[in-house]
Amino acid sequence: MAETPEPDAAHMARAVELAARGHGATSPNPVVGCVVLDAAGQVAGEGFHAFAGGPHAEVVALEQAGERARGGTAYVTLEPCDHTGRTGPCSGALLRAGVSRVVVAVPDPTPKAAGGAERLRAAGVEVRVGVLEAEAERVNEEWLTYARLGRPHVTWKLAATLDGRSAAEDGTSQWITSPEARADVHRLRAASDAVMAGIGTVLADDPRLTARPAPPQDPRPDDPRPDDPCPDDPRLTGRQGLPHGLPDGPRPPSARRVPLRVVVDSDARTPPTARVLDGQAPTLVAVAEDAPAALDADLLRLPRRDGGLDLEALLRELAARDVVSVFLEGGPTLAGSFMRHGLVDRVVAYLAPAFLGSGRAALGPAGVRSVSGIHRLVFDDVTPIGPDLRLTARPPHRVREQ
């Protein structure tokens, strides 16, 4: 493959940077960034998709560029949509603006919105696809996972000592990590569609599973609207999880929504007084098909599998409820099941500089009987958070070759 020309790479890198600003607010659409150059090669406009229902990145950048866009080049992190909703397709907006060249990082994988590149080519616009594709995929990984696999992207978060303990022998776990690490976790929660825990964690710790301070409720209806502009898949609604925390920058109040709380509770043992049922956020309790029906909560009944619930069925059901990203918090049994079935897309581990020597391990049985079956990960980021370390890692099949 020919080396990417430096100007294209530099401008696409800026578009990727812009796209990241939409993290956690673009549901039901992906995060997208756009840079528009004039005919002389000077930056004329920039934009990103800031919140669902707002203008798309291309529209923002083209409006800023105005007449300077004519004869210029547009850099877009995701193929311009070719779908007509409340607004026309972004491919049409680029044509009306008179750009002569469009550089795309990632082709749109959804049949509903794809086709923008071909429409532009058919109209005589030069189109280049694949510039900084890996970087653009990484910034949009939650939505792309959903679009390609038909299930939410799953991030497993753990907090542990250096010897891998998430609780002491007496079951106490508050607090292993620092206030700074816990604040970072809340930022990650707030950027997710759903926060998930198992019944063991609910019974042991009675967590709220909310993002504090809780973002204001979204006044928009929860159900996806078929006339949303270019809703690359009408089932997609939710917020994109962040690999390294929430980006800075203002967002409109309507861009924030409270994450759905999900309890995986095969036998419906969640106490009616559990804080996860306190009404501060919507809660879904996943139970087995044959579990008692006495629990007064929103129940999702699923088949049993391997001593628990069918997790793949759970993720499919969450996708049908418009959940794009899941933040998996615990405990070790549930995390082990997700790992065993290959359903973890990213691991965010907070390690405290401490030892317990005994107590609960952070990960339960994960289907490994010998070293040959070990779950290998690839480190992506190591960041100090207060006195702790935050490690971000992914399974090798989730890491693209650079």
189 annotated among ligand-binding-site residues: yes
153 annotated among ligand-binding-site residues: no
Shortest CA distance to 279 belongs to which of 213, 200, 208? 208
Residue 366: predicted pLDDT: 67
Contact 288, 313 (CB under 8 A): no
Confidence of residue 5 (pLDDT cuts 50, 70, 90): low
82 annotated among ligand-binding-site residues: no
329 annotated among ligand-binding-site residues: yes
Residue 232: predicted pLDDT: 33
pLDDT over 80 (residue 4): no
175-234 pLDDT, tens digit each: 899 999 999 999 999 989 999 999 999 998 899 999 875 444 443 323 322 233 333 332
Give percent of the chain with pLDDT exceeding 90. Answer: 62
Residues 6 or more apart in contact with residue 247 via CB below 8 angstroms: 20, 21, 23
Domains observed in the chain:
6-139 (3.40.140.10), 152-214+258-398 (3.40.430.10)
322-380 pLDDT, tens digit each: 899 999 997 889 999 999 999 999 999 999 999 988 888 888 776 667 888 788 889 99
356 annotated among ligand-binding-site residues: no
276-291 pLDDT, tens digit each: 999 999 999 999 999 9
* Mean per-residue pLDDT of the chain: 84
pLDDT over 70 (residue 261): yes
Residue 362: predicted pLDDT: 82
Residue 235: predicted pLDDT: 25
Q: Using the Cα atoms of residue 214, residue 215, residue 221 and residue 226 in order, give the sign of their dihedral.
A: negative
Residue 398: predicted pLDDT: 60
Residue 168: predicted pLDDT: 84
What is the 3 state secondary structure string of the chain? CCCCCHHHHHHHHHHHHHHHCCCCCCCCCCCCEEEEECCCCCEEEEEECCCCCCCCHHHHHHHHHHHHHCCCEEEEEECCCCCCCCCCCHHHHHHHHCCCEEEEEECCCCCCCCCHHHHHHHCCCEEEECCCHHHHHHHCHHHHHHHHHCCCEEEEEEEEECCCEEECCCCCCCCCCCHHHHHHHHHHHHCCCEEEEEHHHHHHHCCCCCCCCCCCCCCCCCCCCCCCCCCCCCCCCCCCCCCCCCCCCCCCHHHCCCCEEEEECCCCCCCCCCHHHCCCCCEEEEEECCCCCCCCCEEEEECEECCEECHHHHHHHHHHCCCCEEEEEECHHHHHHHHHCCCCCEEEEEEECCCCCCCEECCCCCCCCCHHHCCCCEEEEEEEECCEEEEEEECHHHCCCC
194 annotated among ligand-binding-site residues: no
Residue 44: predicted pLDDT: 97
| Partners of 48 in the β-ladder | 33
187 annotated among ligand-binding-site residues: no
Q: Quick one: average pLDDT of 100-128?
A: 92
User: How many Å is the maximal CA-CA distance in the chain?
Assistant: 70
Shortest CA distance to 383 belongs to which of 211, 242, 214, 174? 242
335 annotated among ligand-binding-site residues: yes
Confidence of residue 86 (pLDDT cuts 50, 70, 90): low
Question: How many Cβ atoms from other residues are within 10 Å of residue 377's Cβ?
Answer: 18
Contact 36, 72 (CB under 8 A): yes
Contact 269, 214 (CB under 8 A): no
288 annotated among ligand-binding-site residues: no
Q: Quick one: average pLDDT of 386-393?
A: 96
Residue 314: predicted pLDDT: 97
Residue 239: predicted pLDDT: 32
Residue 3: predicted pLDDT: 54
Residues 6 or more apart in contact with residue 285 via CB below 8 angstroms: 262, 263, 265, 268, 270, 295, 297, 298, 299, 300
Q: Quick one: average pLDDT of 120-146?
A: 95
209 annotated among ligand-binding-site residues: yes
Active site residues: 58
60-78 pLDDT, tens digit each: 999 999 999 999 999 999 9
Contact 209, 157 (CB under 8 A): no
| CB-facing half-sphere around the CA of 149: CA atoms within 13 A | 23
